[in-house]
Structure 1
Amino acid sequence: MRTIRLIGLLITLFPLVSAAQDTVATAIPAGGWTLEACLEYAKAHNITLNTLRLAKATAGQDVIQAKAAVLPDLAASLSAGVNHTQGVTHPLVGASGSGSVGSSMTLYSGGALRARMAESQLAETSSELDILEAESGLYLQVIQAYNAILLDKETIKYAEDLVATTTQQKTQMEAMYRVGTAARKELVQIEAVLANDQYTLTAARNAERLDKINLKQLLQLPVESDFDIVEPDTSLQPGAIASLESTLEAALANRPEVENGKTAVELAKTGLRIAKAGYLPTVGLNGDIGTGFSNGNGSSLGTQLDRSFYQQVGVSVSIPIFTRQVNKTNTAKADIAVKQAELNLANTELVLSQEVEQAYIAALNAFQQFEAAKGQLAYAEEAYRIAQEELRVETYNSVEFVQQRNTYVQALQAYTQAKYNALLAVDTYEFYRQQRNEYP
């Protein structure tokens, strides 16, 4: 049965959720970090992603505002005052006031309001695609860093096995040296091999520490938090490689950067419609009601308010005749923006096609190298097994034994490196095939 591939975990673990769900904190696992936990934590806590989510929330508010622009407004105003005048015999003090309610709405604007509504909705879609693009890039970085630690851990395992085996061989050689069946030179050779194995083990442990820090920083974990991943599944094997044609077709149809490029073209075309609307008249409807009073005219307050009550309704039309080239230049700029967006889309598709092709060649090369390394290891392992048996029965040649052992170690190192290179390369290539609804 086909083994579970690293990036394939993204398919089931990260469906699109609401922005509110995206911002919910993900708990730091008590045990080792799985790949799923790393990806989930990165999604919830990455500062860049959360900044983009806030930008999407702002775009959502712009949509609400654009939709509300077609509705009538309503405003009320109240005023009151006290006046002082000098009469013939004594000062006169009076009071006055007024109140009104007015409303207006745009009946026709050359399609500008509807176009702005569509523009805000496209901008919100673009914000969502920005998040998907950033998530894709971040997830690939996390997977690469996680894969590096997996390689380190497997390297440590085989290095520990080598140290243990060489230690036993050194013990055996020391016993043979004491009874005179082995020369001092042969003992020194085994000791040198053991020292080299211990150096390899130390280097692997150092590499693991550095790669852990790299992934920890990529996840933006607190400095004081402990970090380690779960033990690697050494049975993982790279899967089959899909055809370049099918992968390229899927990538061009589904990748968020391409969809974002298409959205940018639609945004630019909407901007062009808005600019052209500047040539058309604007028709508006407005109405007001109000009243007022003054205590200096001899009438009661109720009478004044009744007599001063007025109602007004009207239609206004604004026809652009000469706008000092504003509409002309706005339309020209919008047309240029459309052409630029189309060029950007073509460039995005070209770059993506090149990336897919490079990923395909990298996966093909890595898979073939893995197969070659697997065969090389099988032969080296058998030769080393024979050499060990000869050492055990004391029919060995020390020089040949060390050579066979070095060959085996080199083959094991090459196989381990090739396996994880192939896993990463094949899964990275497979990532380009994901459908939109399968993105994290």
Structure 2
Amino acid sequence: MMQNGWLKYGISATLLWAATIAGAQDATDTLPSVWNLNDCIEYANTHNYNINTQRYSKESSQQNLLLSKSALLPNLYGNGSFSVNHTGAGIANPSQESSTSTTGTASVNTAWTLFNGGYLRKDIQQKEIAVQTAGLSIDENINNVELQVTQAYLYILLDKETIIYNEDLIKTSQAQLEQMQQQFAVGSAAKKDVIQLEAQLAQDKYNLVTSKSTERIDKLTLKKLLLLPSEVDFDIVKPDTIFSLELLPPLQDVQATALDFRPEVKISELSLKSQELSLAKAKAGYLPTLSLSGGIGTNIGNTTSYSLGFSLDNSFYQQAGVNLSVPIFTRRVNKTNVALARIGIKQAELDLQNTKVTLSQTVEQAYINAVNTQNQYVSAKEQLVYNTEAFRISSEELKIGSLNMVGYIQQRNLYVQSLQQFVQAKYNAAMSLKIYKFYKGEPFTLN
């Protein structure tokens, strides 16, 4: 019987595990295998850990607000007690009879705060600000995640383009090596020239492996931001165009727009309002508190011999009262609370100023980055054009034997270096431009 029980338990656990795995598999089967940037951003906004943590924080703030509003209402408590006492016949006095007595109370009580210096009203306003702040924190996290997702997406695109030009370089090196081997076979090339091209091909293959490994790492980074399981098949769409030169919006306009709508500024402004309410709440400690209380109840009692029961006697009572509490000496509690609240206001004002200055400087840095990367892109593109033509000429000269291997390798390295700089400059310029325009309120998109 014991073995059968364990067998049934094992089968049930296995079926439950299989159902769980099947459910998870069904969830991942609905996901696309190829994602564009908009897919990534939308999925991250729904599933990202930090964003959802802030959503739960907002829900907690909403519950605290409901609790604060309920403090304006009267409370109601029911209380009751019941006990049984038994006294047996005495040994010294056998004529004494056994007896059992029952006692108890039952009551309903209420209390209602009528006035407390406006503390409860101010507390409600403060909790409302906390809910607004939590909502803005969600927006702030969404902005941060969208930026991180876009950066990770562009890094993968950069990796893909790096893989493509590394594959092209391998093809070029293989062709040059085959040609040099043919020339060596007929005695028109030295062995060391063949060896140098073999070494160059090996280096190109190593670079290709490295670029593929970098792509895998960057894909994993993006999957972490999306909170995707590692076993999910994942790749991204490469758009037709990544970057094109365009006129940048004026710096002052972007700064003004950012200061007007960015959530971090609004959070600092709400923090200042919350501190001002804390001061009002602290001052309420100097004022009297007026409350209303009431209750109804009864006493339950009975005494019998060799029997158990109870009856409702005539002690049913009703009570109502008004309570007034006036603070006379609080051992500096109120004074300290007011002083701390004033300090909190000063700190909140400082934080607001710092947030605005930091945001303005961040926007200016984004503008400088956008200008610099666009200029670097133009220079890198021009340099690549010249080095590509120079490398083409060097390859032709190597074929006819008018250029030695040292000169060819040097020119090839210049071409590879300029190609790498161009690709990097293109993605840097694209990212810098999108970040700058994001502070203007434009969403992250790829053409």
Bin of the TM-score, shorter chain as denominator length: 0.7 to 0.9
Contact 1:286 1:313 in 2 (8 A): yes
Taking a change above 3 Å as real, the CA distance of residues 319 and 181 of structure 1, as seen in their structure-2 partners, is same
* Secondary structure class of the residue paired with 1:242: coil
Q: Greater CA deviation, 374-383 or 129-138?
A: 129-138
Q: Is the counterpart of residue 318 in structure 1 residue 328 in structure 2?
A: no
Taking a change above 3 Å as real, the CA distance of residues 290 and 395 of structure 1, as seen in their structure-2 partners, is same
Aligned counterpart, 2:22: none
**C-alpha deviation, 1:84, in angstroms:** 5.1
2:338 to 313, 331, 338: 331
2:134 to 127, 142, 167: 127
Q: Is the counterpart of residue 422 in structure 1 residue 429 in structure 2?
A: yes
**C-alpha deviation, 1:420, in angstroms:** 0.9
**C-alpha deviation, 1:155, in angstroms:** 0.7
Q: AA paired with 2:242?
A: L
1:231-310 to 2 correspondences below 5 Å: 231-233=237-239, 235-238=241-244, 240=246, 241-295=248-302, 307-310=314-317
Aligned counterpart, 1:211: 218
Aligned counterpart, 2:124: 117
Aligned counterpart, 2:71: 69
Q: Is the counterpart of residue 55 in structure 1 residue 57 in structure 2?
A: yes
- Cα distance in structure 1, aligned partners of 2:257 and 2:268: 16
Taking a change above 3 Å as real, the CA distance of residues 89 and 412 of structure 1, as seen in their structure-2 partners, is closer
TM-score w.r.t. the length of structure 1 is: 0.81
* Secondary structure class of the residue paired with 2:31: coil
The percent identity for this pair of structures is 43
Q: AA paired with 2:387?
A: A
**C-alpha deviation, 1:388, in angstroms:** 4.6
Taking a change above 3 Å as real, the CA distance of residues 204 and 294 of structure 1, as seen in their structure-2 partners, is closer
**C-alpha deviation, 1:186, in angstroms:** 5.0
Aligned counterpart, 2:417: 410
1:102-181 to 2 correspondences below 5 Å: 102-179=109-186
Aligned counterpart, 1:35: 37
- Relative contact order: is structure 1 or structure 2 higher (C-alpha 8 Å, sep ≥ 6)? 1
- Cα distance in structure 2, aligned partners of 1:198 and 1:296: 101
Contact 1:272 1:331 in 2 (8 A): yes
**C-alpha deviation, 1:370, in angstroms:** 0.6
- Cα distance in structure 1, aligned partners of 2:73 and 2:245: 57
Q: Is the counterpart of residue 343 in structure 1 residue 345 in structure 2?
A: no
- Cα distance in structure 2, aligned partners of 1:303 and 1:270: 54
Q: AA paired with 1:319?
A: V
Q: Greater CA deviation, 148-157 or 88-97?
A: 88-97
Q: AA paired with 1:79?
A: S
Structure 1, unaligned runs of 5 or more: 1-24
- Cα distance in structure 2, aligned partners of 1:157 and 1:177: 30
Q: AA paired with 1:143?
A: T
**C-alpha deviation, 1:44, in angstroms:** 4.0
Contact 1:102 1:288 in 2 (8 A): yes
- Cα distance in structure 1, aligned partners of 2:96 and 2:201: 121
Taking a change above 3 Å as real, the CA distance of residues 362 and 26 of structure 1, as seen in their structure-2 partners, is farther
Taking a change above 3 Å as real, the CA distance of residues 293 and 235 of structure 1, as seen in their structure-2 partners, is closer
**C-alpha deviation, 1:402, in angstroms:** 4.3
**C-alpha deviation, 1:338, in angstroms:** 0.9
**C-alpha deviation, 1:108, in angstroms:** 1.2
* Secondary structure class of the residue paired with 2:336: helix
Taking a change above 3 Å as real, the CA distance of residues 89 and 190 of structure 1, as seen in their structure-2 partners, is closer
- Cα distance in structure 2, aligned partners of 1:294 and 1:163: 101
Instruction: Summarize deviations over 1:325-363 as a string: whole Å, max 9, x none.
Output: 111111111111111111111112222222222221112
- Cα distance in structure 2, aligned partners of 1:82 and 1:326: 47
- Cα distance in structure 1, aligned partners of 2:341 and 2:357: 24
2:201 to 194, 197, 204: 194
Q: AA paired with 2:57?
A: A
Total equivalences in the alignment: 408
1:397 to 403, 406, 419: 403
**C-alpha deviation, 1:314, in angstroms:** 2.5
Contact 2:377 2:429 in 1 (8 A): yes
- Cα distance in structure 2, aligned partners of 1:95 and 1:73: 30
Contact 1:262 1:345 in 2 (8 A): yes
Q: AA paired with 1:342?
A: E
Contact 2:102 2:310 in 1 (8 A): no
Q: State the Cα RMSD in Å.
A: 3.3
Q: Greater CA deviation, 418-427 or 98-107?
A: 98-107
Structure 2, unaligned runs of 5 or more: 1-26, 90-94
Instruction: Summarize deviations over 1:237-261 as a string: whole Å, max 9, x none.
Output: 1563322212211222222221111
Q: Greater CA deviation, 182-191 or 112-121?
A: 182-191
Aligned counterpart, 1:355: 362
